[in-house]
Amino acid sequence: MIAQSDARIAFQGELGAYGHEACRKARPDMTPVPCASFEDAIAAVRKGDAELAMLPVENSTYGRVADIHSLLPKSGLHIIEESFVRVHINLLGVPGVSLADIKAAKSHTVLLGQCRSFLAQHGISRITGADTAGSAKEVAAAGDPQTAALASELAGEIYGLDLLARHIEDEGNNTTRFLLMSPDADHSRRGAGVMMTSFVFEVRNIPAALYKAMGGFATNGINMTKLESYMVGGSFTATQFYADIEGHPEDPGVQRALEELDYFTNMVEILGVYPADPGRN
């Protein structure tokens, strides 16, 4: 077992959640701090109750994590690292039961939807829980031999559940991207490989503003790996964009592209500059 330091890392969910797995992968020596919500994880860092926060931003099957992009600019935190976590889903039961005993499985609605084929094949009904690790905790506490949980193997270890079926997800490449957030910016740190820059911006109210704003990235050969829009303050007209690009703001091409972007926008805010995770390849 890896010894934990006094440094803490906050994540949303119960112990055993996939966010907990992301924390162990990125900072195995730090003490995980479970939080009820993304806002609570951010607040834990801002108040000094944790040094870092681990936040999910997107899933390869279900896309963007709801509300997270609107939280990042207001968080006061900076992205210093990204981590890609393979979401392996497992059927976990109380000690001594077998797969044939299970009549129902409990988990977050997203995980229930990702195991439709397995559940149908074994005649297992679905019970919606608040989250994945929380469902494992509840199944362990209830002790019902006919009810299992869908969660990580880590959750099974923590709550004393038996592994009845391993890696039962329908999609073979289901992966969640997490961002490691810190109160301190670390823009000067360069990895040996590709650097990523994440930022948000709001285009000016002029014709073809987005097209013109993006032109600088194309002409300077900057690879934009993500561009997503989201509404601000419930307005259909106030639209902001979240973007990830390959490169560092001090790279000449990136610098020129950001200068051109600034000309066609009302606001540009860099959220973080960090090494690309090997999981991108």
Instruction: Delineate the domains of the chain, giving CATH numbers in brackets.
Output: 8-86+174-182 (3.40.190.10), 90-165 (3.40.190.10), 195-276 (3.30.70.260)
Mean pLDDT, the chain cut into blocks of 10 residues (281 residues total): 72 95 95 95 96 92 78 91 93 97 94 93 95 95 97 96 96 90 78 87 85 93 91 67 94 95 92 88 64
If we measure between CA atoms, which residue out of 8, 13, 7 comes closest to residue 32?
8
**Amino acid letter at 212?**
K
Give the pLDDT of residue 209. 84
Burial 236-271 (b: 16+ CB within 10 A, else e): eeeebbbbbbbbbeebeebeebbebbeebbeebebb
Residues 6+ apart with CB under 8 A from 67: 38
Give the pLDDT of residue 63. 76
E strand spans, the chain: 8-12, 31-35, 52-59, 63-64, 78-86, 90-93, 104-107, 125-128, 147-151, 162-165, 175-182, 195-203, 224-231, 239-246, 265-275
Active-site amino acid positions: 176, 178
Give the pLDDT of residue 252. 95
If we measure between CA atoms, which residue out of 6, 14, 19, 18 comes closest to residue 181?
19
**DSSP classification of residue 280:** G
**Amino acid letter at 112?**
L
Give the pLDDT of residue 240. 85
Give the pLDDT of residue 251. 94
If we measure between CA atoms, which residue out of 242, 215, 198, 202 comes closest to residue 81?
198
To which H or E segment does residue 232 belong?
Answer: none
Give the pLDDT of residue 1. 38
Question: Other C-beta atoms within 10 Å of 101: how many?
Answer: 15
Give the pLDDT of residue 91. 98
Q: What is the pLDDT of residues 61-84, one digit of tens each?
A: 777 787 787 888 889 999 999 999
